[in-house]
Amino acid sequence: MEIQKNHSAYLDPILERHAHRATDLLQILRAAQEHFGWLHPEAIDHLTRRLGVPRAKIEGMASFYAFLHLQPAGRYRVLFSDNITDRMLGSAALRERMCRNLWIEPGKVSEDGLVSVDTTSCTGMCDQGPALLVNGMAVTRLDAQRVDAICDLIRNQAPLAAWPTEYFRVVDNIRRSDLLLNPGFIPGAALTAARQRGGQGLLHEIKASGLRGRGGAGFATAAKWEACRDAAGEAHYVVCNADEGEPGTFKDRVLLARHADEVFEGMTLCAYVIGARKGLLYLRGEYRYLLDHLDRMLARRRENHLLGASILGQPGFDFDIEIHVGAGAYICGEESALIESLEGKRGTPRNRPPYPVTHGYLDQPTAVNNVETFVATCHIALAGGAWYAGIGAAQSSGTKLLSVSGDCARPGIYEYPFGISVRQVLDDCGAADTQAVQVGGPSGTTLATHEFDRLIAFEDVPTAGAFMVFDIRRDMFEVARNFVHFFAHESCGFCTPCRVGTSLLRNLMDKLHNGQGSPHDFHEIEKLDRILLSASHCGLGHTACNPVLDTIAKFRPAYELRLQQRRFVPAFDLDRSLQTARQMTGRDDGATHLHDEGSVR
């Protein structure tokens, strides 16, 4: 790309669109990068001047997000999804194949500045992987042939618009529908029903429904809305958390693709109850490809008086929704980090209390709910709380969308009433010889065969929706190691225990992987787990040890296989540390290897 001296040419219209609001900084940087490919220092100069934000703050913010680049990252930026399900489908070999084909090293930009190939956390395409992102757009169902074809397209510098559309096709794979996924919702119907009941009446129905937040924690939705409504503030805000970053989860992607009307209508219902005039939907960067579709849906709702001023012709019922797009940070799924990100900052979880219901977006009362929760409220508004409370389990009313992936014949989205057994789900998705299921993603629970009669419900196995299946061929140690790498990569770095502890844990798991583990390392892992659990700032640190604790408890042989029966083995391997020297000298003969007891053969 030629050096464009005049960065103001593309930045000024972007700044105009965002009314020069410094709180929109992340959105401004995203737009700037989509235009120029990366964030040029002179572009940052310009933004510093126009927004009055110190450049270190802009750089500090940009460097927090994996998808923003302060250095040229290649005209084609390829990121392979590195979730365990992608790996099980052969993503690592395909990535190597691409690197070999393009003659580049992973993680480095080619010398001509054309392309870089690296990995990223789960892109939410687990049911149609292996997947990658190219310049932020999702490519699914990779195989050797597709990878080779992509290499040719990159070498020939074909614009993404000229790539076969089939590559970018994302299918919904809905395998079992219930009340949320069944078609037939009429836009505006829930709002009309709500208006007949009034805000308090709607809140009453939601309370009666027993609806609990679908993001995983299960907080009562009515209690949240009520507390937010009653909190004093200059303005109230509705935020939809569509930062579906938990590896193995992709149900929000399907809801946004097929049921966006219900998502937006649920947000509008919330606005009606709490008295908000503005709503924000935080869409994870990996789902950037959905943005145009969602914007069209919003436009249509405005035309139909379901958004904007005087909704349904009711004077004073004014509400509109803005979409903010994330930029590759799992931590932004945590609601206070998400709000920081919406305000154009680093996605660091806030100190709580105060909670977002009283001090959220711009320090104002804010109701943050999951995509699926908002969809559920539409159906409660339509059919009433008592009806909804009759579905599902005692403490978990309604249905739950499960994102099923891994070793099964029919991966995809399954909607069940709460209280379904793990075994039933396994039967329905065509899983055979299953040894484990990871419910709720890496931060969730690893279930072994003797637990397959347990139930998906807040009172037994709670989940935000991930359901990854592992059959007897899989090495559960490697599954846990993949998750530990994920947490180390996604730790925000704010607090000491998580910033350092997740990396120490990753190194210990790698030590075991390399065959150098000793019983001593086991104690170390347990010690780190305790510190992460008790001293971390937020849920990421608290749960980062879950996959390790669970797999140690339930799949101990997978670990013991790797333990040398010596009291202590150093992580430092003399022979391996000579690898660089061997590479530099082009030698690999016996004389360049150490064969003493310090090396592991």
Partner 1 sequence: MSKTFTLDDKRIPFEDGQTILQAALAASVYIPHLCYHPDLEPHGSCKLCTVKVGGRQTAACTLRAAEGMAVESDTGEINAQRLALVQMLFVEGNHFCPSCEQSGDCRLQATAYQLGMLSPHFDHFFPNRPVDASHPDFLLDFNRCILCSLCVRASREVDGKNVFALAGRGLKTHLIVNAPSGKLGDTDFGGADKAAHVCPVGVILPKRRGFAVPIGERTFDKSSIADYVASRHGKRGGEK
Which residue ranges make up the site for partner 1 (CB under 8 A)? 41, 45, 54-57, 59-60, 63-66, 329, 346, 351, 488-497, 499-504, 507, 527, 530-531, 534-537, 571
Structure tokens at 305: 């008086």
Compute CA 192 distance to the chain's CA centroid, rounded to the nearest angstrom.
33
Cβ proximity to partner 1, 502 vs 546, nearer residue: 502
Q: How far is the CB of 544 from partner 1 (least distance, A)?
A: 11
Cβ proximity to partner 1, 465 vs 517, nearer residue: 517
Q: How far is the CB of 46 from partner 1 (least distance, A)?
A: 12
Cβ proximity to partner 1, 43 vs 180, nearer residue: 43
Q: How far is the CB of 340 from partner 1 (least distance, A)?
A: 13
Cβ proximity to partner 1, 145 vs 351, nearer residue: 351
**List of residues 6+ apart from 389 with CB closer than 8 A:** 208, 209, 210, 397
| SS3 state at 416 | strand
Structure tokens at 100: 């070999």
Q: How far is the CB of 494 from partner 1 (least distance, A)?
A: 5
| Rounded Cα distance, 61 and 337, in Å | 13
Q: How far is the CB of 463 from partner 1 (least distance, A)?
A: 24
Structure tokens at 362: 């711009």
Give φ, ψ of 251 to 5 degrees.
-75, -30
The length of the chain in residues reads 601
| Rounded Cα distance, 184 and 188, in Å | 12
Structure tokens at 252: 């929000």
Q: Is there a contact between 116 and 72 (Cβ–Cβ < 8 Å)?
A: no
| Rounded Cα distance, 317 and 313, in Å | 8
Cβ proximity to partner 1, 315 vs 353, nearer residue: 353
Sheet strands (E) in 144-290: 174-176, 237-242, 278-283
Q: How far is the CB of 570 from partner 1 (least distance, A)?
A: 9
Q: How far is the CB of 380 from partner 1 (least distance, A)?
A: 33
DSSP 356-406: TTTS-GGGS-EEEEEHHHHHHHHHHHHH-HHHHHTSEETTEESEEEEEEEE
Cβ proximity to partner 1, 141 vs 530, nearer residue: 530
| Rounded Cα distance, 245 and 67, in Å | 14
Cβ proximity to partner 1, 349 vs 465, nearer residue: 349
Instruction: Find the angle CA(300)-CA(303)-CA(306) to the nearest 5 degrees.
Output: 85
Q: How far is the CB of 348 from partner 1 (least distance, A)?
A: 9
Closest CA to 297 of 254, 253, 265, 251: 265
Sheet strands (E) in 274-358: 278-283, 320-325
